[in-house]
Amino acid sequence: MTTQARAAHPFDLTGQVAVITGSSRGIGRAAAEIMAGLGAKVVISSRKAEACKEVADGIAKAGGEAIVIPCNISRKEEIEALVAGTLKQWGRLDTLVCNAAVNPYFGPLAKIPDEAFDKIMASNIKSNLWLSNTAAPHIAKAGGGSIVIVSSIGGLRGSTMLGAYGISKAADFQLARSLALEWGPQNVRINCIAPGLIKTDFARALWEDDKNRAAREAGTPLRRIGEPDEIGGIVAFLASKAATFMTGSVIVADGGVTIA
């Protein structure tokens, strides 16, 4: 298929440059691999360069283009370096995927240490604001594009054990809505994805226990948990021409848990 023919396809990402945080594994890795397969040039980023290099090498082997720029999203100067490095390599930025997140505490809000609460809010909310504010002007300069925040259905439901994490994920929804209003006039779209339980290392404690997993699957209309590429595909969709009239939205992808 020629480049011209591919460009006419609404899901084609040829010519795009995308930065994906937390892309050494899980949802971020799936998103990077899918986007690269659709023609995007991708920046693989997480705290550990070695893990990122494995992903970038795999993309290159499959015929895609990827570079590695390590970044700890809790450090503003590293976020600025991530965007600057992307621009230095490829001269533009079209899509930012805010996927990296933390959850250092599992337990009731009544007992959460201040430092754990602060870390969750800083990494899951403030870092996404830093990333968006750093990237959005360059996305606008490129003619417009997309920012995707990977949130969670934890932002839609109460929890006795993941309350702080849920607060941060609910805040992501509102962050996307407000940024969408600010940047819409410059053709920068900001949307959220709210996955349910996905088979990732991040959520391992929730799905590795057979009893807990069986209970979760029984309460899920699709009777299973999700796979990373099922969310990665939604990320790619939001970055594509197929989603150019979507902004400030929250896409729930949870196998039906929240409607059951």
Catalytic residue among 130, 165, 173, 237: 165
- Is 165 considered catalytic here? yes
Cα–Cα distances in angstroms (integers) from residue 71 to residues 40, 83, 129, in the given order: 20, 10, 15
Cα 105 from chain centroid?
Answer: 21
Element (H or E) spanning 42, and its range?
strand 41-45
Distance between CA 252 and CA 258 in Å, rounded?
A: 9
Instruction: Please name which of 89, 75, 83, 177 lies closest in space to residue 137, comparing C-alpha atoms.
Output: 83
What letter does residue 198 receive in the DSSP assignment? B
**Two tokens, residue 19:** 């930065």
Which parts of 2-64 are beta strand (E)? 17-21, 41-45
Q: What single-letter amino acid sits at 14?
A: T
Distance between CA 50 and CA 70 in Å, rounded?
A: 9
**Two tokens, residue 25:** 């594994």
Cα 38 from chain centroid?
Answer: 17
Catalytic residues: 165
